[in-house]
Structure formats: structure tokens, C-alpha cells
Structure 1
């Protein structure tokens, strides 16, 4: 008889709660991608529904646990990574998903975020990046572009923004991917890969806030120009892009360079092949940092490297200590030091 987890459908992962995001918000598409990805994750990894836990902090994205039919924890501002870490270490068999916005994860939650990445805890972090604080009505965030005019920067921000990919890889991150909210199919594909990765996976989803930052990514999301302005990376495939699939990336010295195939002496043989599994983060960092108009924006799984995880290391250490310890019970502990009779 076929196991239940092979028969799940997206409908199984929809909760009965009313989804309360603004009409047109990119969060709707991300939710759609997640509930489409979870049945495939369950089938590939043989996970029952009871293994999933969604953890969030504060923000529009942080309503997410209410909208998926799984276990969930709606935490406090910036602490989603700390809670997700505790859940995973306490019960390593769970599939833990953290949902955070760019403000929740990278401002008040920045320290928790980088250390979860550094420790390589086996959690999946979905970073909804709309470059604004949406729930609190339009203040600039850690990813708002320099000069952005917002409620708290009426003359333009004077701060340089974080680049989430650079931050993740700089914190020794082993998995980083990026998608667009409007591309549900690609987001689903990435989420399945993130779930299969053993360690911290960070998926940055470029998400539109229709109310306070509408069109932040329109230069790369509109159908007319998207194929010329983004590059979808897949391990083992050539780094080519464009409507006519005639543009590609080559290494020029220590930098990436966009070339047109068939011009300037460049052929298909010159185009780089994406190696997401390369432990050296150099090319991955350059890919994560590419920005339009000088480069296409990189989408897909940019980095996917195996390494030991925090939760596995904790388990192995505890087992080793238990194996070698002379203390096997509470009585052994109470009698392990100096004792006196009074």
C-alpha cells in the first residue's frame, strides 16, 4: 500500500484561515509556491504532514503560519531564527521553515539570522524581500536602495543596503537561492531543493509590496524584459540568458563579464558552467551580487554545498559524552563529587 505522504496535494497544506494580505501582494504567489512544493518534498523525502513546522516573527510575511496546514509558531519581532533553532535542536526530525521579511530578518533579527547561517542549522529560511517595512506602513528597511524615499527617509536614505546573498555567503552560508514572487514555478523548484539540503538554506524571494513599494522589481519582473534582465542558474548548465538565449557569462580576470555568443570571438564553449556545489564561494558571491543594468539578476540555486550541521554536531557530541561518561543516572551525579555525612 502506498504511503500517505506520496499522495498529498497542495489542498492538504492549505489552512482554513482567511488569507489577509492586500490584493496584489506578492505574498499570495509565494504561499501558492509553498503549498505546491510541500507535497513534492513529502514524496521525495518521505515526510508526513506532522513533520512540518512554520515559524515566523513580525511583519506581513509573518502571518504565514496561519495560512498553511502545518504546525506553526508566530513569534516576536526578529526572533524567528532563534525560535526555529530551538525547535530544530529540540526535535531534529522536524522540517523547520522560517518565514521572515527583510526588516524582521535583517534589522532587529540580523544577529540571529547570521548566526543561524554560520552554525548551519538544518532549517529553511524564506526571506521575503520587498525593500520596505510594509506592516508598519512604509519605513525604509535594511535592503532599501540608497536614496530611497520612504516615510522615514523623505529626502532619500543615506544608508547602503544589505545584499542578502552577500550577507549569507559572507556568514559562511552553504545554501543560497533567489526567486521572484511572480515566478511560482521557479520558486517551487527552489523550495524543493532547499528542503533537500541538509543545513541552513536561505531563499531570498524578491516580493512586491503593492501599497508601499509598488514596482520595486518591475525592471526585472515585467514579461517584456524579464528574459534579458535575469539569468536562471541551474547546476551543471551553461550560464546563458536572453530572449534569444544568445547572452552568457564568462570570467574576465577576477570579474564576471556579460558577452553575446557569436560576437567578439565568444562561442558557447567560452560560457561558464554553473557549479552550485563548489565549496569556494568566489563565483557564488559574484553571482549573488550581480545587479541590473550591468548584469542580469541571478535567480535559482546559486550555492548548495554540503557540510556538517549544528543539530547533527549537537547530537553527536551528546552521544559521545554519554558513551564515555561515568555518570549514568542522577544517583551517579549526586555521588560524583566530594560527599559528607552530617
Structure 2
């Protein structure tokens, strides 16, 4: 008599390799690795059905530290390799781990086409606003005016807005999280794991060695209620230490207001709709930046569209 074996319950430890992570003490990559492996365990997908593909950079070491399949590719080409892996074996869960330089400079073209094709690949962009592996040069997301080894008089170029780029490219799942909130990272990663289509998650990550404190005003517990806007589908766009600030539509633009002043009530505050096929509001939210506005964190867009390579 044949009996069906009970599936083995996997823990986070089962998704970790025997290699010790080689990052600077305090690097945000440690928290991201923890969140990712915890999410894999929650998703209950066997290690042999998971693939992590990376390019070049501090973040791109992550495949070595996971017990899943992995591919450490050449600079900027991880999206293309990931797309090929998914097309060759559609049953795989394919993740790309990349950095702001890897994905937006030499790999910008490949990132764009992965997202616009809506390939069923999950991309995490670890944005520390600096080239860390090559010791502190300006990257495509470095703020203007920042003095680095490659910009001794201050960075000249206007920085790329990764979330806006992903929305413009047509990614069907777009989110932003930060490395100090492990719980939220896991929740967003799990939602991404369950999404069919192109996923883009920007992770605000601190580089303790070459740009320490890049997001301190946004992530610090003492200030983040004023400087961070939590996005939740179906909930009003409210923020502030007292929960009395929000956003309304003023002449087609987002405007921050105080509830209770000038006749403004909570009913006037815009409601976040991550499921709208029109990404206009999400795009406007992606333009909000500290210090003039709070920094939006959460899922900007989550819609269903035909997936690249799947039969219609």
C-alpha cells in the first residue's frame, strides 16, 4: 500500500547556504537576506524551485548565501539572464537582486525591457545611492551635490527615481521598502512572490561605509511618522505624528494638507488605489521626496496583466 509522504516543513535556516556573508558590519544586506529567506520559508517553495540571479555589486553577493539555485552574472545583465531562466523553465520562481549602479547604469537598458515585457521575474533593487563595492563613487541615484570619490565638487547629474522608472516601464507590481523594517520587507516580498508578472521592489538600504545615514531622516523611529507616508491599498493617504496630515488633489497635483484646517476633513483625503490600471496617482506619489514631502513606503501598484512568454 502506497502512502503519500507529508511535505517537509522548511524554515529560514533551510534557505541559507553554508557560506558566511561577507558584508560590512551593519550593512543593510544582512536584514534583506534575513527577510528574503524568511519569506521563502513562508511561501513553502522548495529550494530547488527558487533561483536568485545577480549582477555585480555588494548586493549581488546574495546568491552565495542562499541554498537556492543562483547565478552571479556579469555587470548589469542579471535581468536578461533571469528572463531566459524563466522562459526556459516557467515553473521556477526567479528573483533578481541588484543595486542602483548595476540596474540603472550599465544595466539600465536590460532593467527597462524586463519590466515592460511583464516577465514573471521579481527584481529587488537595493538602493544605497552610492557605488559601494568599488569604494564610494557616485551612482545613478546619488543626490545632486553629494561629494564622492568620483564627484569631488559634488554630483552633477539629476538622480534617477527608480519607482517612477518602473511605473513608466509598465511593471505590474511596484513597491518600496526600507532595510530597517524587516516585517514589512517580508510582507511585501511575499506579496511579490505570489504576483504573476514583473515585480520591482526598491529597498532603501544604508551603506554604513560610504554613505552612512542616507535615509536616516526617513527611517529613524523619532522622525519617520512625519517623514514617511505608509501606502496601503484602500486606505487614505494620511501621515504625521498625530495622523492629521494627508494629501488631496489640487489642480491635478498632490497637495499636503492638515486635517481640521481650512475646512479639510478626512473625507477629502485621497485614497490609495494600488490596483488601478492607470498608474497616474502612483506616479505622482513616487515624485514625493523628503524634505519637502514625506517619503512613500509600501506597494505603489499591483495589477494583473498578460505575462510574457505565457500562452494566451
**TM-score (normalised: structure 1):** 0.88
Which residue number corresponds to residue 4 of structure 1? 7
CA contact (8 A) 1:4 1:48 kept: no
User: Are 1:19 and 2:21 counterparts?
Assistant: yes
Question: 1:49 Cα shift?
Answer: 2.4
The aligned runs of 1:31-180 (5 Å cut-off) are: 31-42=33-44, 47-180=45-178
Moved more, 198-207 or 263-272: 263-272
User: For 1:70 and 1:185, how far apart are their aligned partners in 2?
Assistant: 22
User: For 1:39 and 1:233, how far apart are their aligned partners in 2?
Assistant: 25
Which residue number corresponds to residue 29 of structure 1? 31
User: For 1:2 and 1:247, how far apart are their aligned partners in 2?
Assistant: 54
Which residue number corresponds to residue 191 of structure 2? 193
RMSD of aligned Cα (Å): 1.3
Which residue number corresponds to residue 205 of structure 1? 203
Question: 1:14 Cα shift?
Answer: 1.5
Q: Which string of whole-angstrom CA distances, capped at 9 and with x for unpartnered residues, describes residues 145-178 of structure 1? A: 1111100000011111100011111112221100
User: For 1:86 and 1:103, how far apart are their aligned partners in 2?
Assistant: 22
Point out 4+ residue stretches in structure 1 off by more than 3 angstroms: none
Question: 1:3 Cα shift?
Answer: 5.0
Q: Which string of whole-angstrom CA distances, capped at 9 and with x for unpartnered residues, describes residues 18-60 of structure 1? A: 0100001111111111111112222xxxx32221000000000
User: Are 1:246 and 2:280 counterparts?
Assistant: no
Which of 228, 231, 238 is 2:229 aligned to?
A: 231
User: For 2:108 and 2:128, how far apart are their aligned partners in 1?
Assistant: 16
Q: Which runs of no fewer than 5 residues in structure 1 stay unpaired?
A: 317-342
SS in 2 for 1:103: helix
Which of 213, 216, 222 is 1:215 aligned to?
A: 213
Question: 1:9 Cα shift?
Answer: 1.6
The structure whose Rg is larger is 1
User: For 2:43 and 2:255, how far apart are their aligned partners in 1?
Assistant: 36
Q: Which string of whole-angstrom CA distances, capped at 9 and with x for unpartnered residues, describes residues 89-141 of structure 1? A: 00011000000000000000000000000101000000000000000001100
Q: Which runs of no fewer than 5 residues in structure 2 stay unpaired?
A: none
CA contact (8 A) 1:240 1:246 kept: yes
Question: 1:241 Cα shift?
Answer: 1.6
SS in 1 for 2:309: helix
Which residue number corresponds to residue 293 of structure 2? 295
Question: 1:4 Cα shift?
Answer: 2.6
**TM-score (normalised: structure 2):** 0.96
User: For 1:41 and 1:257, how far apart are their aligned partners in 2?
Assistant: 39
Higher helix fraction (1 or 2) = 1
Q: Which string of whole-angstrom CA distances, capped at 9 and with x for unpartnered residues, describes residues 290-317 of structure 1? A: 10122111111011111001121xx45x
Matched residue count: 309
SS in 2 for 1:310: coil
Moved more, 254-263 or 299-308: 254-263
Q: Which string of whole-angstrom CA distances, capped at 9 and with x for unpartnered residues, describes residues 194-253 of structure 1? A: 111111100000001111111111111111101110011111112112222222121112
